[in-house]
Amino acid sequence: MRSKNELWIGYAVAVICLLVGVFCYSILPAKPPESPLRVMFSGMGGNVLFHHQTHIADYGLACKDCHHSVIGSPTDTPDSCESCHLKESVYTPALGKNGVFDHPAHSEDYGLNCSDCHHTYAEGDSGEPEACGTCHNPESEDGSMLGRVDAFHKQCIECHEASGVTPGGSDCAECHKPRPRKDAFHDQCMNCHEDSGAGPGRADCTTCHGY
């Protein structure tokens, strides 16, 4: 008798859960919650269903592993990737051969000293300043030493904001135009999967596409 009652209660709960689930599933896309359960991307490649909550709770990832942003505080609601990585965006690096950073203008025209940036070097020292990355290397992002990207962001943006010039911290695209939407997703999803040896890799198109 008792087990039959429990069975009925079980069925009732299951039916209620199903109804609530279907109801929520149908209204949620219209107004995303603080952190979506899952995200459905639809495009020419076939839809992709991304289990957002599973990636956070079960795979132990931090928000900033995916929602990278230089100045945003960790408690801010992140912007959608598409707000920066537009479909037609053309990637331009900040430094390097085709980068927007104009070293001659900064070192000769803006009234700055070498040591304003090369802070371990003083004019008159023998030799040339070392590249920032020899000390601030990507592996040093452990808190004791600023990593390469953080070192650049901090130095470039702090000086601009202190001198009242643009680009400031939120003018991302004036220092480097973000890669287009498809590459942003593919690079982020697949680089992490391949680095951690888990989840679909580059060749597994249909594991993600085709919903």
| 38 Cβ neighbours under 8 A, 6+ residues apart | 49, 50, 51, 52, 53, 54
**Which residues in 159-178 contact ligand HEC (CB under 6 A)?**
159-160, 163, 165, 167, 169-172, 174-176, 178
When binding is defined by CB under 6 A, the residue of 8, 134, 139, 143 that contacts ligand HEC is 134
Q: Is the dihedral of CA 62, 63, 68, 70 positive or negative?
A: negative
Show Cβ contacts of residue 73 under 8 Å, excluding neighbours closer than 6 positions.
none
Q: CB of 21: closest distance to ligand HEC in angstroms?
A: 18
Q: Which is nearer to ligand HEC, 14 or 135 (CB)?
A: 135
Nearest to 48 by CA among 37, 59, 60, 40: 40
Binder of ligand HEC out of 31, 104, 126, 128 (CB under 6 A): 128
List all residues 6 or more positions away from 118 whose beta carbon is below 8 Å from its beta carbon: 129, 130
Shortest reach from residue 16's CB to ligand HEC, in Å: 26
Q: Hey, what amino acid is at 75?
A: T
The residue (of 6 and 183) whose beta carbon lies closer to ligand HEC is 183
Q: Which of 51, 86, 137, 141 is close enough to bind ligand HEC by CB under 6 A?
A: 51
- Which residues within the stretch 52-111 sit at the binding site for ligand HEC (CB under 6 A)? 52, 54-56, 59, 61, 63, 65-71, 77-85, 91, 93-96, 100-103, 105-107, 110
Cα–Cα distance, 209 to 44 (Å, whole number): 10
Per the document, the length of the chain is 211
125 binds ligand HEC (CB under 6 A): no
Identified binder of ligand HEC from the candidate list 10, 29, 45, 210, rule CB under 6 A: 45
Nearer to ligand HEC, 1 or 44 (CB): 44
CB 71 within 8 A of CB 156: no
Binding segment (CB under 6 A) for ligand HEC, from list 8-16, 17-25, 155-163? 155-163
H-helix or E-strand spanning residue 48: strand 48-50
Instruction: Return the range that interacts with ligand HEC (CB under 6 A); candidates 3-11, 13-21, 22-30, 122-130.
Output: 122-130
Q: Is the dihedral of CA 153, 96, 131, 116 positive or negative?
A: negative
Helix (H) or strand (E) holding 40: strand 39-41
- Residue 19 contacts ligand HEC per CB under 6 A: no
To the nearest whole angstrom, how small is the minimum distance from the Cβ of residue 108 to ligand HEC?
7
